[in-house]
Amino acid sequence: MYFYYNIKNMKDKNFYIENYGCQMNISDSDIITSILLKNGFTQSKNLDEANIILLNACSIREKAELTLKKRLEQLKFYKKNKKIWIGITGCFSKQIKKIFLEKKIVDFFVSPDSYREIHNFINYSIIGKKYFFYDSIKKKNETYADINIIKQKNKKITTFLSITRGCDNMCTFCIVPFTRGRERSTDPNSIIKECERLYQNGYKEIILLGQNVDSYLWIYNKKNINQNQKNVVDFSNLLDLLAKKNPMMRIRFSTSNPHDMSNKVLEVISKHKNICKHIHLPVQSGSNKILKLMNRKYTREKYLFLVKQIKNIIPECSISHDIISGFCNENEEDHQDTINLMKEIKYNYGYMFSYSPRPGTYAYRKLKDNVPKHIKKKRLQEIIDLQRKHSFYRMQEHLGKVEEVLIEGESKKNNQYWYGRNTQNLIVVFPKKHLNIGDLVHVKIKNTTSATLIGDICI
């Protein structure tokens, strides 16, 4: 039974947005918020005051899906006592959306390429229209380039800027190419303008986002450019342009696909002081057999060669990883290949998961999830333990060095300390003294844990 509601009776269309998921989702929450605010909605920071609740989530990993299910169970209570509309945005396959709809808590879904119309979709829901899935099939080129993002007034000095959307890689375990569509890049002029605007608004660091930033590509129509302008802008050109135009803005980026990363990009990173020396380079597995089953388009040997190139061109560069343990057909030998690759590289840090098949993916349809749960768990633990050792080893390399740190906020453990990040994206904590959030300071590293560098300001 659906509740028909006269939209004119609503004093306020007051939304509350919760974010679950990756950096791309956090960046998308800003897009959704900006579109709703520009269309007469108001934003509430308090769930109790809102009549529209948006959960910007994802189903890329089973754990994320379970967290969302739990949250929806909690929201059932709100729905019983008050007329509210609940919408889910983000990366979900049709199968998963159906499971959520059956629970009768969710009113609508909006997919990542359809946010431009989200205000209309919410209005349809409010007047009782039974459209549940707002998927944009027509908007394959959507980049939201012209949306003037309204950033929330918090004290943050670092923010995300999306430069590509979607992905063409079709890794067999991944739902992104189906939920976010084909890869497309944002006009470099709009990225440069947005970067300048963010700097003027007090941001000191931007993180360029894309599923695969290294394949960024913009081709100008020859008629629209002058003689001195290049008609093709790739990722190395974009980084170079941004670093030159905004020398005071720190630049980071994520995520790199080893298949697409070029020496040209590494050289640009090495050339500019304001491009941070950290590369997130997901490997997923150290076994060629598993990489092939995952449809990753590089081999273990190519990956190791790339890491060597990174260290040659940018010796101080930190490298982090994503690893999936227990993918289909993974045996002990494959697992040991991953362990040995980790030992060879000694990553600074990483994100480690055990494999869970995701509905809608090739692996879900065609491959057998045949590694028993307890084996997956054991292998994952070995990977985590090894990474902990390597992180500690890498942190020791900073002892005694003076490093440039951007202050991001007060340390959670001690309000007499600031925390910030060095160029390698490592957390540094140090006594406050007379400094402010957003200051770029020099800190001498005196101690470390496996996750934090501890130091003192150099005056």
Give the residues lining the site for ligand SF4 (CB under 6 A).
167, 169-171, 174, 176-177, 211-212, 257
Shortest Cβ distance from residue 210 to ligand SF4 (Å)?
9
Residue 446 corresponds to which tokens in the numbers above? 């005196």
Nearer to ligand SF4, 52 or 171 (CB): 171
Which lies closer to ligand SF4 via its Cβ, residue 174 or residue 428?
A: 174
Closest approach, Cβ 425 to ligand SF4, in A, equals 19
Work out how close the CB of 324 gets to ligand SF4 at its nearest, in angstroms, rounded to a whole number: 10
The side-by-side arrangement of strands in the sheet containing 349-354 is 278-280, 318-325, 349-354
Q: How far is the CB of 169 from ligand SF4 (least distance, A)?
A: 4
Q: What is the per-residue burial (b if ≥16 Cβ within 10 Å, else e) of 178-209?
A: bbbbebbbbebebbbebbeebbeeebbbbbbb
Residue 257 CB, shortest distance to ligand SF4, in Å, is: 5
Tell me whether residue 383 or residue 453 sits nearer to ligand SF4 (CB atom): 383
Q: Which is nearer to ligand SF4, 281 or 443 (CB)?
A: 281
In angstroms, give the least distance from the CB of 322 to ligand SF4.
Answer: 8
The residue among 96 and 176 lying less far from ligand SF4, judged by its C-beta, is 176
177 or 286, CB closer to ligand SF4?
177
Three-state SS letters, the chain:
CCCCCCHHHCCCCEEEEEECCCHHHHHHHHHHHHHHHHCCCEECCCHHHCCEEEEEEECCCHHHHHHHHHHHHHHHHHHHHCCCEEEEEEECCHHHHHHHHHCCCCCEEECCCCHHHHHHHHHHHHCCCCCCEECCCCCCCCCCCCCCCCCCCCCCCEEEEECEECCCCCCCCCCHHHHCCCCEECCHHHHHHHHHHHHHCCCCEEEEECCCHHHCEEECCHHHCCCCCCCEEEHHHHHHHHHHHCCCCEEEEECCCCCCCCHHHHHHHHHCCCECCEEECCCECCCHHHHHHCCCCCCHHHHHHHHHHHHHHCCCCEEEEEEEECCCCCCHHHHHHHHHHHHHHCCCEEEEEECCCCCCCHHHHHCCCCCCHHHHHHHHHHHHHHHHHHHHHHHHCCCCCEEEEEEEEECCCCCCEEEEECCCCCEEEEECCCCCCCCEEEEEEEEECCCEEEEEECC
| Residue placing its CB nearer to ligand SF4 in the complex, 47 or 170 | 170
Answer yes or no: are the C-beta atoms of 159 and 203 closer than 8 Å.
Answer: yes
Residue 215: CB minimum distance to ligand SF4, A: 9
**Angle 352-394-348 from CA coordinates, rounded to 5°:** 30
In this complex, which beta carbon is closest to ligand SF4, that of residue 39 or of residue 169?
A: 169
- The β-bridge partners of 322 are 351
Choose between 176 and 269: whose C-beta lies nearer to ligand SF4: 176
Considering the complex, what minimum distance in angstroms separates the CB of residue 176 from ligand SF4?
Answer: 4
Q: Which is nearer to ligand SF4, 105 or 209 (CB)?
A: 209
Give the residue with the Cβ less far from ligand SF4, 26 or 101: 26
